[in-house]
């Protein structure tokens, strides 16, 4: 799904979503964040209804319920968006881990101060009430330390899950942009790169426009029919290898169809394209 919220609104939604996420059985990962972000944004009534109904019946969202809600109401086959969410959540959790660690340090030092004060007052019977008060505060401080330690552990676990997710998303994105047979970029990768080049040229018209070379293997069907598809695949790989050897960055060679290939030359004079 596409997000058009401003920085200010997305920050406010983040502030509202995090407390809701932290009370659920599911870990703090991008899928959970997407569900609760959409929930507090109130722009998907069916999602809010489904979440409220599940909470009324079960009290909390576990991993299975969170995944099901995401797939039913939010999921789209967009690896780039998933990568951006994973990267954003990794930065968010990294900051939360740092904040939790700092808060834990403050709590620990406060507990040590209370312990020292209680020890100093312990020998004075006239101040027994103060000692009891300090002992009570110290007990609450220890409880807070334990809660902070549990939060740090949960955040650390979520960080590891996000690291794994980022690796999986990166692999999926790479695979979604690569032709499995030849190893060249596929039609989707070519279209994305061409759109970016056209946008750059539109923004800076004085630069050279991109050039596109289209290639097609003559009589490829006859090759397949005469020698078999395995031989045809070898021909496709051979053409891809030739293109890879001839085309260097920032140019892009891609397989855009069955026996069709294309070469994109960003900001290239026509003469350079003709020479290639």
What DSSP assignment string belongs to 208-220? PPPEEEEEE-TTH
Active site residue 175: no
In 3-state terms, the chain is what percent helix, strand and coil (to 5)? Answer: 70, 5, 20
Secondary structure element (H or E) that encloses residue 193, with its range: helix 187-203
Q: What whole-number distance in Å separates Cα of residue 248 and Cα of residue 198?
A: 20
| Token pair recorded at residue 84 | 């951006």
The count of other CB atoms within 10 Å of the CB of residue 140 is 12
Catalytically annotated residue among 168, 175, 259, 260: 259
Distance of CA 206 to CAs 198, 201, 203, Å?
Answer: 13, 8, 9
CB-side exposure of 38: number of CA atoms within 13 Å? 24
Longest dimension (CA), the chain: 106
According to DSSP, residue 131 is labeled H
Q: Could you tell me which residues are beta bridge partners of residue 254?
A: 262
Residues involved in catalysis: 259
């Amino acid at each position: 799904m596409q997000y058009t919220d401003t920085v200010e609104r997305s920050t406010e939604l983040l502030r509202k979503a995090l407390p809701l996420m932290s009370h659920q059985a599911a870990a703090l990962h991008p899928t959970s964040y997407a569900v609760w972000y959409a929930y507090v944004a109130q722009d998907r009534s069916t999602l809010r209804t489904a979440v409220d109904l599940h909470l009324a019946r079960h009290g909390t969202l576990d991993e299975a319920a969170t995944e099901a809600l995401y797939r039913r109401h939010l999921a789209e086959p967009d690896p780039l968006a998933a990568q951006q969410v994973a990267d954003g959540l990794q930065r968010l959790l990294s900051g939360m881990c740092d904040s939790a660690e700092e808060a834990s340090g403050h709590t620990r030092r406060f507990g040590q101060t209370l312990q020292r004060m209680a020890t100093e007052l312990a020998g004075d019977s006239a101040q027994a009430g103060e000692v009891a008060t300090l002992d009570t505060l110290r007990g609450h401080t220890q409880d807070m330390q334990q809660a902070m330690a549990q939060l740090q552990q949960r955040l650390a676990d979520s960080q590891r899950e996000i690291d794994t997710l980022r690796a999986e998303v990166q692999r999926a994105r790479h695979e979604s942009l690569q032709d499995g047979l030849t190893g060249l970029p596929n039609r989707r990768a070519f279209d994305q790169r061409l759109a970016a080049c056209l946008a750059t040229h539109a923004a800076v018209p004085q630069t050279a426009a991109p050039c596109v070379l289209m290639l097609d293997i003559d009589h490829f069907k006859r090759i397949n029919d005469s020698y078999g598809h395995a031989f045809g695949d070898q021909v496709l790989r051979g053409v891809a290898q030739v293109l890879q050897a001839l085309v260097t960055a920032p140019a892009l060679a891609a397989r855009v169809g069955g026996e069709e290939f294309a070469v994109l030359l960003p900001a290239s004079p026509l003469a350079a394209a003709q020479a290639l």
